[in-house]
Amino acid sequence: MSGGGADDAVAAPAAAPWRTEAREQARLAAPVVVVQVGLFSMGLVDNLMVGHVRADVATQMAGVALGSLYTWVILAFGLGTLMALDPLVAQALGAGDRPAVTRSVQHGVVLALLLSLPAMLLLQFAGPVLRALGQQPTAVPVAASYARWAVPGAPAFFLFVVLRQSLQAMHRLRPIVVTVILANVANAVLDWGFVYGRLGLPANGAVGCAMATSLCRWLMVGGLLAMAWPLVGPHLRPFDWRAASRRAPLLRMLRLGLPNGLMIDLEIAAFGTLAIWMNHLGDAQLAGHQVALNLAALSFMVPLGISAAAAVRVGHAIGRGDPVGARLAAKVALWAGGGVMTVAATLFALWPAALAGLYTHDPQIIALAAVLLPIAAVFQVFDGVQIVGNGVLRGSGDTRTPMLVYLLGYWAFGLPLAYGLGVGLGFGPAGMWWGLVAALAAVAAVFVVRVRTRLSRPLVRTRVE
């Protein structure tokens, strides 16, 4: 079956009803959400472990916040770039083009290895960069050591992304779920050892989290390959290094994924800028911000999973020449993303102090986080809609529009407003977070409009060969 033009649209099958599409999306999204929550919970455990060290809690938590932020800014670019596999693999599967799936997976492996080289180099410079940004001198050494210990795990992280995106597009999530669950157990044990000095290991405090994470990333790659070999093995063996390393397809894949990588970095850097402004106020302010942001990020994992499912469902529909099915998948996903975040908003509004108390025993940090969580409740629905809209567009092969929307929404509108409210008018952390609310609302509105216009036009399958 050829992939998707105007002639295909004429012969497209009738759209599935809402109930059928919702059931199919739930079947795919549920394990994806479990995976996303599982991956996030590894960072959550890191924060919980560090939040209960006996000395210098605020400095240790601020160090983890800055170190993990710097690390994610570096790694997220490669993560977003490799998510070019979403439309490539999903649309190829929808079209029944198995050789194209194999070519895409092998290109992804080569690109992952190439991306790991600059990432490992940049992670070495966390200390000078953070000092240049004027961060608290007490937290910078901790953050720099954290980033350096993330270096060994960078290649494993990118290879895991290739396997995860490919299996998601195949609707084969069980190996990922099992791998992530086992990785969480391993991460908790290793954190306990490296942070507190258990299991005969020296106590490394916050830096121990990075040591545990790097080890776990390699365990995840090995575990996923072992459990999913019957599914991914035929696409990896024999590995044609010459074909997989061809410059032209790799450059096309890079052009497709690069806007998505930049988009994710723009969002992370926007939140990172808020963290930098918070740290100018003090370690406690940054720690309180980190606790509230961590809880908001936890709830965000659910629509993030729905977004991944939407990218796959829309990609499959486009690959089989079904534009009506693509539009239905987008509508169901957008409603689901906004709906689940309404629940999270209610929790944040009703029990902010109790939720913050799960992270630390420090009363000042809890009080600061409790002020920010009700504000987070306001932006939850906007956050859910915008990330699902992003997934829909990615599944259709549109990665440039989200990058531009994030650039304008966060950097031209949201951050100047946050600085004006928080610093210029003196409203502090709460004022900065209200600027974030405005940015997310604007981004969500633009994404909804873009999804509507994008899917109303004839859609063509995305290719790099």
pLDDT of 283 reads: 67
What burial class does residue 248 get, using C-beta atoms within 10 Å of its C-beta: 0-12 exposed, 13-18 middle, 19+ buried? exposed
pLDDT of 44 reads: 75
Of 117-131, 140-154, 348-362, 421-435, the range with the lowest mean pLDDT is 348-362
What does the block give as tokens for 380?
């939850």
Q: Would residue 291 count as lying in a domain?
A: yes
> Per-residue pLDDT tens for 172-196?
989 999 999 999 999 999 988 888 7
pLDDT of 4 reads: 41
Share above pLDDT 90 across residues of the chain, in percent, rounded to a whole number: 40
Q: Would residue 65 count as lying in a domain?
A: yes
Q: Would residue 4 count as lying in a domain?
A: no
Q: Would residue 335 count as lying in a domain?
A: yes
What does the block give as tokens for 324?
């009506």
Contacts of 163 (CB under 8 A, 6+ apart): 176, 221, 224, 225, 228, 232
Range of the domain at 219: 15-455
Residue 13 scores a pLDDT above 70: no
pLDDT of 269 reads: 81
Q: Would residue 395 count as lying in a domain?
A: yes
Q: What is the total count of domains within the chain?
A: 1
Q: Would residue 1 count as lying in a domain?
A: no
Q: Would residue 95 count as lying in a domain?
A: yes
The end-to-end CA distance of the chain, in Å, is: 17
Q: Would residue 46 count as lying in a domain?
A: yes
> Per-residue pLDDT tens for 288-346?
777 888 788 888 888 988 998 899 899 888 988 888 888 999 999 999 998 889 998 88
